[in-house]
Structure 1
Amino acid sequence: MDATPGSAPGPDAVPDADAAVVAGEPVPSDRIALDRDRILAAALAHIDEQGLAGLTMRRLGHRVGVEAMSLYRYVPGKEELLDGVVELLIGDLRMDPDVLHSPTHGWQDFLQRLAHGVRRVALAHPRAFPLVASRPPEAPWLRPPLRSLEWVDAFLSGLLEEGFSDEAAVAAYRSFTSFLLGTLLLEVSAHGADVGPLDVVDDHQADDVEASRHATVWRLRHDLAHDASASEFEVALEALLERLTLIRSELG
């Protein structure tokens, strides 16, 4: 049904360039400067405000003032759009001045800064943060929320510089990411985020050429791919029980 005269357009309305010209308003068309960064920023803003479920290419086009077809010049489809939103979130971590790319003040300080940086991203974009967990990573043996080759390489290289063995660095990476993901998904769910169900990652989507450019990740890729879920669960459970034992002794 067509909108009645004077009524506000719905979220799926197609921008009417002719009507805009007649009304003396800015023209919602391809004549508006458009690029991939602007589209991704608009998509992230939409998710922040309305959640992921309502994001469509048509609504996104309406938000930036163009027809949906114009978006496909910059993002081939919704899957690529969501991957781009994840890139923006990871970019926020890169721009955080408190997050270090190497352990200049010891590995504990390095991990604390990194953990708090990821948490700040989650709190700034709680409705978008589950995408960090659900979108396929740059390689199948990478784990969210540290899901980019750049950050995993920085993490592993930093711990190796601090005297960790290969095995210890990989174990620390797994424990650290499990802690962050579980804690932060619970936290953003309290802020209204939809945290399930998550996408299934296709193990064949790895880009070996890109991964091989990150020397530490590439060298340890087989260790990273090893499934140690059961032992990690037991270690985490034991750590929890030890913590509860300490609490019991302290609080009586």
Structure 2
Amino acid sequence: MAAGQRRHRGPGQRAGLNRERILDAALALLDAEGAGALTMRRLAAELEVEAMTLYNYIPTKTALLDALVERVFAKAVPEPAEAGPGSRGDWAALLRDYAAHLRTGLLRHPGVLALAATRPAATPAALAAVERGLSVLTRAGFPLGRALDAINAVTLFTVGHTTAEVGTADAAASADWVAEQDTERYPLLTEAARTGAGTDDADRFTFAVNAMVAGFGRGLFQAQEASDNNAADSGN
């Protein structure tokens, strides 16, 4: 091309368009207007390109939805710290951090919640994130099946709890109603409603995740203890 000439972009092309920008725009549209508004045509309009241009980056609407779930889930799994071959890593911290990051991501993008509850996070990036978590848990001594159970249990609880948080906008009004009930018949419930005890979503979430992780740890210890005892009996 001669100096000073300007190359014209073809129909539907736009400088700087890439998969990340498309997903950012899709998330913004999903959060603002809900899943019903998220079509390839509408997304293309938001990005000021032709709809067919999007298919160069994301082949189908299904792939777009999968990518949105991937975006939230894959970012929630922290990168494990560098560890030697014999290191077990801090599996409990990984699960707690994963739950906290996933909740934060879902609250930031509530439009993804309905997708997360109905479709698996089955993209290469999402699978790589799960693989990272399984690696830490199995190095810590979890059998592979139990490691996957732990990750799935934390995931399902987080999605369910966050869905409830987003769907209870009238929680304050409900607490006010409970506080006005018969204090002799419901002394503890009315006290909780008046004082706000047990109504903090973040505190409840952290309490429950810590309890789950502690339970996983006890189960792991008991399994290892049973295995050691069996080994000792076999050696006698």
Same fold flag (TM > 0.5):
yes
| Alignment partners' CA distance in 2, 1:89 and 1:167 | 24
Q: Does the 8 A contact of 2:74 with 2:129 survive in 1? A: no
Structure with greater helix percent: 2
Deviates more, 1:32-41 or 1:130-139: 130-139
Q: Is the 8 A contact 1:121 1:129 kept in 2?
A: no
Distance 2:120 2:103 in 1: 20
- Give the 5 Å matches for 1:1-252: 30-33=12-15, 34-93=17-76, 99-101=78-80, 106-138=90-122, 148-190=126-168
- Find the residue that maps to 2:103 and give its secondary structure: helix
Shift of 1:83: 1.7
Contact between 1:28 and 1:66, CA under 8 Å: does it hold in 2?
Answer: no
Q: Which has the larger radius of gyration?
A: 2
2:113 counterpart letter in structure 1: F
Paired residues of 1:29 and 1:65 also in contact (CA < 8 A): no
| Contact residue 129 and residue 188 of structure 1 kept, 8 A | no
Q: Is the 8 A contact 2:137 2:147 kept in 1?
A: yes
What does the per-residue CA deviation read over 1:15-48, in whole Å, with 9 as the maximum and x for residues that have no partner?
xxxxxxxxxxxx9952422222222211111011
Which runs of 5 or more residues in structure 2 are unaligned? 1-8, 170-211, 216-236
Change (3 A) 1:90 1:174: closer
Corresponding residue SS for 1:138: coil
Identity in percent: 37
Separation (CA, whole Å) in 2 of partners of 1:173 and 1:128 = 19
Once the 2 structures are TM-superposed, how far is the Cα of residue 93 of structure 1 from its aligned partner? 2.5
Distance 1:100 1:39, change over 3 A: closer
Point out where structure 1 has 5 or more consecutive residues left out of the alignment: 1-26, 140-146, 192-235, 240-252
CA pair 150-189 structure 1, distance change in 2 beyond 3 A: farther
Contact (CA 8 Å) 1:100, 1:113: kept in 2 or not? no
The 1:156–1:76 alpha-carbon spacing in structure 2 relative to 1, beyond 3 Å, is closer
Q: Which stretch has the larger CA shift, 169-178 or 106-115?
A: 169-178
Count of residues in Structure 1 that have an aligned counterpart in Structure 2 = 156
SS in 1 for 2:112: coil
What code does the residue aligned with 1:120 have? T
In structure 2, the CA distance between the partners of 1:160 and 1:76, relative to structure 1 (3 Å rule), is: closer
Alpha carbons 1:107, 1:159 under 8 Å: kept: yes
CA distance, structure 2, for counterparts of residue 28 and residue 53 of structure 1? 30
What amino acid is the match of 1:150?
A
